[in-house]
Amino acid sequence: MLRLLLDEHLSPRIVKQFLVKCPGGNMASVLEWQDARLSGALDDLLLTEAHQHKLTLVTYDQATIVPLLKSWAEQGISHSGVIFIDDKTIRQDDFGGIIRALGQLWQKGRNENWLNRVVYLTRPTEA
């Protein structure tokens, strides 16, 4: 089951709206999950904790996460998946676009194995 964890650069408002639009969906914000203890944490700690809880990280942070994932792959370290969003595809302040795109991805991939999977979120299709 796909379980999403938004990094600290994504608004927790996205979680609330996503859960309304995708009943049965599973999403949390690092700003609220586990009393926000991972807010501001280093990427490796965040990914390790997410993996321990089988959470797929959702982030715009390609600058530091991509090299970390490459390093982990070379070392054989697993993660529970990362979904990258790019500002050129969906702006960071486009909550509706983010929610629709994550909802469409969740509908398609909610029962798939997300171990070590990396996906770039695409612009949502209009319904």
What tens digit of pLDDT does each residue of 38-69 get? 998 999 999 999 999 999 999 999 999 999 99
Task: List the beta bridge partners of residue 6.
Answer: 29, 58
Residue 1 has a pLDDT of: 86
Please give the pLDDT value at position 126: 74
Tell me how far apart the alpha carbons of residues 70 and 12 are, in angstroms, rounded to a whole number: 28
Residues of the chain with confidence (pLDDT) below 70:
127
pTM: 0.95
Task: Give me the helices (H) in 22-121, please.
Answer: 43-52, 62-75, 95-109
At 101 the pLDDT is 97
